[in-house]
Structure formats: structure tokens, C-alpha cells
Amino acid sequence: VMEDVKAFADKISRVAEECGAASLLEYGNRLRDHADSYDIECVEKSIEIFPTLFRSIQRRWSKNDKESS
């Protein structure tokens, strides 16, 4: 399971770098650190907040798209 979390964290970090999403990059790096240290409690908390973080980023991008149109 931790290998899946590490892979997810790495994918998040790659996408964040490609999109220039600093908060998402920080999240991916932090999640990877928690997984590397087998900190199950922090991994669980990080996974729980991901949907909220993702929605926040979506809203920000959507707002930026509307402003640049």
C-alpha cells in the first residue's frame, strides 16, 4: 500500500511541476515524505485532505481562465 501512496505522490508532484502548481507540488512532496517514513497517521490525513486541495486548485484555475478570456 505504501508503494501505491509513493507512486501517487510522485505523480502529483510531476503534474504540479508541469502545471506550475506550487501548493500541489508541496502536497505531493510532503505526502511522499510521509510515505517514505511510513508515517501512517500523516499519510491518512494527507489523503483525506486531497479532495479539498484539488477542488481549491480547480477553482483557482477556473477563475484565472475566466479572467484571461
Grid cell of 40 as nine digits: 501512517
pTM of the prediction? 0.84
CA–CA separation, 31 vs 9, rounded Å? 6
For residue 1, which of 24, 35, 46 has the smallest C-alpha distance?
A: 35
DSSP reduced 3-state for 48 = helix
Lowest mean pLDDT among 2-11, 27-36, 57-66: 57-66
Per-residue confidence (pLDDT) for residue 57, from 0 to 100: 85
Please tell me the total number of residues recorded for the chain in this structure. Answer: 69
Mean per-residue pLDDT for 35-60?
A: 94
How confident is the model over 25-29, as a mean pLDDT?
Answer: 97
